[in-house]
Amino acid sequence: YVTSFGPVSDVEMEYTMDVFFRQTWTDERLKFGGPAEILSLNNLMVSKIWTPDTFFRNGKKSIAHNMTTPNKLFRIMQNGTILYTMRLTINADCPMRLVNFPMDGHACPLKFGSYAYPKSEIIYTWKKGPLYSVEVPEESSSLLQYDLIGQTVSSETIKSNTGEYVIMTVYFHLQRKMGYFMIQIYTPCIMTVILSQVSFWINKESVPARTVFGITTVLTMTTLSISARHSLPKVSYATAMDWFIAVCFAFVFSALIEFAAVNYFTNLQTQKAKRK
């Protein structure tokens, strides 16, 4: 059960979330009889009972909350079924392919499984099936640049030198919001290109005015391209925004080149006329 999802960092390619992590298993040794159907144990008793050694394979940092007491719930049913719940804050890797940025979407995984016990000793399954095992309420998302559009789950078996292990994976599907980039990048770039074309209407003899227009728009595009990259990791490939800015820069720079060419040929014709 996800109580809070976010933030997501594009630069670090990671995300953070707060969850109630629930595990259920059956231990035949803990069966009991009596009037009580459920036996609740405090945190001191939990350490004396076997629990799965679950860890998050792509987790960078995980925190178990301890205020005001350890946030754990441990219940034993009469048939030996155990419910173990704890509150965790998890910081995990989210590999991103930013070719379509800022019109991109990502599937951020959370992978977990047993650290020491192979498949022959412990097998993980989704208790409520793939559709209902992970709950993410709409109000739990605290994302500014993304929409959390859903989640899917899967399980797989991997082989290593110490045996085969079951890996459970939850994918959180994110779609980037375009609003910020439309306001901060796309609209200024379009307006700068339009402004650069205004210089064509200025008299070709007005050299200072056309020079100011050309240089100002080129510097503006340079500033916009630098600011657009601040919120991204230093990837080695071009994104969709890079191509858009490059095309805008080409229009702006071509306007400056056009003025230089017109000014050169105008002066050339003037000199020829004087010689005649």
Closest C-alpha to 79, from 24, 41, 21: 24
Dist. CA 275–CA 261, nearest whole Å: 21
Per-residue confidence (pLDDT) for residue 126, from 0 to 100: 92
Ordered by start, the domain boundaries in the chain are: 2-176, 179-275
Q: What's 18's DSSP letter?
A: E
Query: Using one digit for the tens of pLDDT, what is the confidence trace for 88-137?
Result: 999 999 999 999 998 999 999 999 999 999 999 999 999 888 888 899 98
Query: Using one digit for the tens of pLDDT, what is the confidence trace for 131-141?
Result: 888 999 888 88
- Bridge partners of 8, per DSSP, are 15
* Architecture of the domain delimited by 2-176: Distorted Sandwich (2.70)
- Pair of tokens at residue 66: 């301890």
Instruction: Give the pLDDT mean for 221-233.
Output: 83
Three-state DSSP class for 42? Answer: coil
Q: What's 185's DSSP letter?
A: I
Query: Using one digit for the tens of pLDDT, what is the confidence trace for 200-212?
Result: 777 767 777 777 8
Instruction: Give the pLDDT mean for 219-233.
Output: 83
Dist. CA 63–CA 65, nearest whole Å: 6
Closest C-alpha to 189, from 253, 245, 256, 257: 245
Dist. CA 135–CA 121, nearest whole Å: 28
Per-residue confidence (pLDDT) for residue 148, from 0 to 100: 92
Instruction: Give the pLDDT mean for 161-186.
Output: 92
Q: Would you say residue 266 has pLDDT above 80?
A: no
Dist. CA 254–CA 23, nearest whole Å: 63
Reported as a pLDDT band with limits 50, 70 and 90, residue 67 is: confident
Q: What are phi and psi of 67, to 5 degrees?
A: -110, 130
Domain 179-275 classified CATH 1.20.58.390?
yes
Per-residue confidence (pLDDT) for residue 276, from 0 to 100: 66
Least confident of 30-39, 150-159, 162-171, 241-250: 30-39
Report the 10 Å Cβ neighbour count for 243: 11
